[in-house]
A and B are shown apart, each in its own frame.
Chain A
Amino acid sequence: MALLPPKNRLWWNEPLHRMEAIWISIAFVWGLLMFFVMIWWHINGNQNMSNESYRIQPDVFADRTEAFIQAYQVGADDFGTPIVRPPAGSDVYLAARLWDFYPILELVEGETYRVRISSLDWQHGFSLQPTNINLQIHPGIEMVITLTPNETGAFGIVCNEFCGIGHHLMVGRINVIDRETAALAAATSVAGEQ
Chain B
Amino acid sequence: MATIAIPGQIGEAAEERFRTCPDTGLHVHAKAETLIRVNLITAVTFLGIGGLLGLLVALTRWQAVHLLPAEMFYMVLTAHGAAVLLFWIMFFEVALFYFTSAVVLRSRLATPNIAWLAYALMLIGALTATVAVLQGRSSVMFTSYVPLQAEPHFYIGLILFAVGMLITCFIFLGTLVIAKDEGTYEGSVPLATFGGLTGVIIMIFTLASGAIILIPTLLWSVGIIGHIDPLTYKLVWWGMGHSSQQVNVTMHVVVWYTIAALLLGARPLSEKVSRSAFLLYILFLQLASAHHLLVEPGISSTWKIFNTSYAMYLAVLGSMIHGMSVPGAIEAAQRRLGHTKGIFGWLREAPWGNPAFAALMLSLVMFGFLGGISGVILGTEQINILMHNTLYVPGHFHATVVSGTTLAFMGVTYLLIPIFFRRDIVFPKIAQWQPYVFAIGTAGIALFMMGAGTLGVSRRHWDITFTDALITFDYPATAFFMLGLNGLSAIIATVGGAMYVIVVVASIVWGKRRTEEDAKTNPIAPGAAVLAQYGGEDTFKLPGTIVLVSVFFIAFALYYFINWRFLAGIWPMS
Contacts and interface: CB of A to CB of B under 8 A. Distances in A.
Contacts of A10: 187-188
Nearest to A126: B295
Contacts of B316: 27, 31
Contact of A6 (B186, B463, B570): B186
B330 to A, nearest CB: 15
Interface residues of B, number: 89
Interface string B253-291: 000000000000000011111010000000000000000
Contacts of A134: 295, 384-390, 456
Contact of A130 (B145, B476, B557): B476
Given A17-B270, A19-B546, A26 B553 contact: yes
| A28, A55, A149: most-surrounded residue (chain B CB, <10 A) | A28
A48 interface: yes
A117 B297 CA distance: 10
B458 interface: yes
Given A131-B571, A162-B74, A170-B469, A17 B269 contact: yes
Contacts of B518: none
Given A19-B540, A20-B269, A34-B309, A41 B147 contact: no
B382 A47 contact: yes
Which of A16, A45, A55, A162: most chain B CB closer than 10 A? Answer: A162
Interface in A1-38: 1, 6-20, 23-24, 26-28, 30-32, 34-35, 37-38
Contact of A50 (B148, B380, B475, B574): B574
A170 B464 CA distance: 11
Nearest to B194: A11
Interface in B443-475: 455-456, 458-464, 466, 468-475
A49 B381 contact: yes
Secondary structure at the A interface, as helix, strand, loop or mixed, is mixed
B236 interface: no
A84 interface: no
Interface stretch (A66-74, A153-161, A184-192): A153-161
Contacts of A53: 297-298
Interface string B297-335: 110110011000100111011001100110000000000
A123 B473 contact: no
Given A147-B573, A159-B458, A160-B459, A9 B535 contact: yes
Interface string A115-154: 0010001110101111111111111111101111111000
A119 to B, nearest CB: 9
B14 interface: no
Given A14-B270, A14-B272, A46 B313 contact: no
B71 interface: yes
Contacts of B272: 11-16
Contact of A160 (B271, B461, B469, B556): B461
A148 B536 CA distance: 57
B440 to A, nearest CB: 29
Contacts of B194: 11
Nearest to B227: A140
B294 interface: yes
A17 B461 contact: no
A82 B229 CA distance: 31
A16 B325 CA distance: 13
Nearest to A117: B297
B141 interface: yes
Contacts of B275: 11-12
Contact of B296 (A16, A27, A45, A138): A138
B256 to A, nearest CB: 17
Contacts of A151: 571
B320 A27 contact: yes
Contact of A11 (B141, B188, B386, B564): B188
A138 B295 CA distance: 11
A167 B75 CA distance: 13
B140 to A, nearest CB: 8
Contacts of B466: 168-169, 171
Nearest to A45: B382
A162 B540 CA distance: 51
7 contacts: A9-B534, A30-B553, A46-B573, A53-B298, A140-B229, A158-B461, A163-B148
Top 4 nearest A-B pairs (CB, nearest first) are A156-B473, A31-B313, A143-B297, A160-B458
